[in-house]
Structure 1
Amino acid sequence: MRGRTRRFHAVKNEWGFPKFISKKSLIDPFNGYLVNDDCVFGAEVFVIKSQGVVECLSMYEVGKPIHRSWRISQFSQLEYGWVSEEFHVGDHTWKMEVYPRGNGAEEDRSISIFLSLVDSSLTPSRKVKANYTVKIKHQNNGEDCIKSGNQWFACSGDDSWGWDEFMAISDMNDPASGYLVNDCCIIEVEISVQAIAHNSLSPPPKKMKII
């Protein structure tokens, strides 16, 4: 698998691939990945020469998360996807994206949901760290389907984080599940902004903490 250039630092010291290869492909003897129950892992790492970039980290006092909720009607009739109106959290602009028929490898298998930072006022050298929790509400007083994340969002255009495999389509469409009632579902998100980082070739302001 071809990698991407990533910056490792004290706040984000690991990167990887949450879906590197499917278990089915790994154990298929015709693919040659698993031989006599042994497999070999390898990695090529190239360290890019430092350009003297200084990363400034401005920490936020994390208070109560901002909560937003949407009721999506005619859910089963959505051909491609649903996008929320833009909303503001921590002086930044966000939106939610829901794909009722799935996204990527999970197409026709899972509901896919993503949170996107769409703040065009920020420069490409900046990024925002946020905690977020997304829910598909159970409408009959049952257990909500909940997933949480903590990520750095880049400000160079739309940057999305979320889940291709949020919930199985079969579970959503099951009349007894309580998630889809009268072809309507309820999506909720809670977000709290933790920090903003800024890369610069010049020294940071004195009030910034250097990482």
Structure 2
Amino acid sequence: MANQKWSLCFISLAFLFITCSSAEFLIQQVTEGRGTEYNRSSSLKANLGVTRVLREERPSSKIVTITSFSVIKDRHEPYESSVFEAAGYKWRLVLYVNGNPKDGGSGHISLYVRIEDTQSLPKGWEVNVDLKLFVHNQKQHKYLTVTDGTVKRFSDAKKEWGYGQLIPLSTFYNTNEGYIVQDTGSFGAEILIVKPAEKQEKVTFISNPPDNVFTWKMLRFSTLEDKFYYSDDFLVGDRYWRLGFNPKGDGGGRPHALPIFLYAQGFKPNAVATNTWGAVNLRLKNQRSANHKQIYSAAWYPIRSGYGVGVNNIILLKDLNDASKGYLVNDAIIFEAEMVKVSVTNIVSA
């Protein structure tokens, strides 16, 4: 039995020697330019911060397919791909099919991306990249996506980034896994430039902003119809606002109580249109004393106009119509809105 094992070993070595010296292997390189989505993926285990995920979409920057993989499986020098363009720069893939021992790659396949033609870049150049590297799982028709979530900073001092432990050799060569099929394996890269934002959106909350009190007097209250009435628009912060009510009631307060709502309207010219925080004291003024009816309301108002926040029952209609209480005087009522806090959004330098 031992002699048979040695004989098989000798035959295998001889076959490999003949193959390496005479056989040709094909290296097919494909450069893609498609966008990428991540909605269909399944997770594999993470190792030392590196995540590995299977996804269906092909890499968007580069694919290298090597046939007759067994010809080079024992080689230690790297295979360097042709130059390809991605995100406005030129790159190469650098593949160690037997691992890069200088990067802890023993027992693994190692894969890197190297930036090229940097002599044309300005002095002190830096290129920040969100880098993902790939191994094609031909059995599942998916790509093993390898990344660690950190931005790679390419520079004169560091032109090459990647993973020494892209995938274990034991996994790659296991035919049940599906990474090498008919002696063929594929690798890829996705290069997305991370350009620091020059501008940022800054949301500021302003307490007691200028001109923050609006008074609305409604005359001939007893003649008002069963519908919503609205005040004139008033400007506080970067947005216009208005008050609104139905004299016959609204919602759960109908027909026994008087409602009052604050509505967000449009924006002043050149304002940044975003959701707006509005905190307000809504009052029904007592015209004979300081015993006003008041509620506090605070909410995010959406960008669209006409969104109202308030209450259905700032006062019961029986109390309103009681002349001795002082809220309805000479058939008139007075509402007041005190904007105690609003948000203002600006675009500023980051």
Compute the TM-score of the two structures, normalised by the length of structure 1. 0.62
Secondary structure of the residue that 1:182 maps to in structure 2? coil
More strand by share: 2
- What's 1:104 paired with? 251
More helix by share: 2
Q: How many Å apart are 1:195 and its aligned residue?
A: 2.2
**Structure 2 counterparts to residues 176-187 of structure 1, below 5 A:** 176-187=324-335
- What's 1:72 paired with? 218
Preserved contact between residue 130 and residue 193 of structure 1 (Cα < 8 Å) = yes
Unaligned regions of 5+ residues in structure 1, if any? 1-54, 199-203
Q: Give the greater-gyration-radius structure (CA).
A: 2
- What's 2:337 paired with? 189
Per-residue deviation, residues 121-166 of structure 1 (Å, max 9, x unmatched): 7999720002101111111124011111111111123111001121
Give the number of aligned pairs: 148
Instruction: Pick which of 85-94 and 57-66 moved more.
Output: 57-66
Aligned residue identity for 2:319: D
Preserved contact between residue 89 and residue 193 of structure 1 (Cα < 8 Å) = no
Aligned residue identity for 1:133: N
Per-residue deviation, residues 28-72 of structure 1 (Å, max 9, x unmatched): xxxxxxxxxxxxxxxxxxxxxxxxxxx955113424561111211
Aligned residue identity for 2:280: Y
Distance 1:124 1:91, change over 3 A: closer
1:60 matched to 2:205? The reply is yes
Unaligned regions of 5+ residues in structure 2, if any? 1-199
**Structure 2 counterparts to residues 1-211 of structure 1, below 5 A:** 57-64=202-209, 66-79=212-225, 80-119=227-266, 126-196=274-344, 206-207=349-350
Q: How many Å apart are 1:173 and its aligned residue?
A: 0.6
Quick one: distance in 2 between partners of 1:141 and 1:127?
37
RMSD of Structure 2 on Structure 1 (CA): 2.6
Higher RCO (CA 8 Å, separation ≥ 6 residues): 1
Preserved contact between residue 60 and residue 193 of structure 1 (Cα < 8 Å) = yes
- What's 1:50 paired with? none
Quick one: distance in 2 between partners of 1:73 and 1:133?
22
Quick one: distance in 1 between partners of 2:229 and 2:249?
11
Distance 1:140 1:158, change over 3 A: same
Secondary structure of the residue that 1:85 maps to in structure 2? coil
The percentage of aligned residue pairs carrying the same residue is: 23
Q: How many Å apart are 1:197 and its aligned residue?
A: 6.6
Per-residue deviation, residues 5-35 of structure 1 (Å, max 9, x unmatched): xxxxxxxxxxxxxxxxxxxxxxxxxxxxxxx
Preserved contact between residue 115 and residue 160 of structure 1 (Cα < 8 Å) = yes
Secondary structure of the residue that 1:126 maps to in structure 2? coil
Distance 1:63 1:142, change over 3 A: closer
Distance 1:87 1:194, change over 3 A: closer
Secondary structure of the residue that 2:275 maps to in structure 1? strand
Q: How many Å apart are 1:193 and its aligned residue?
A: 4.2
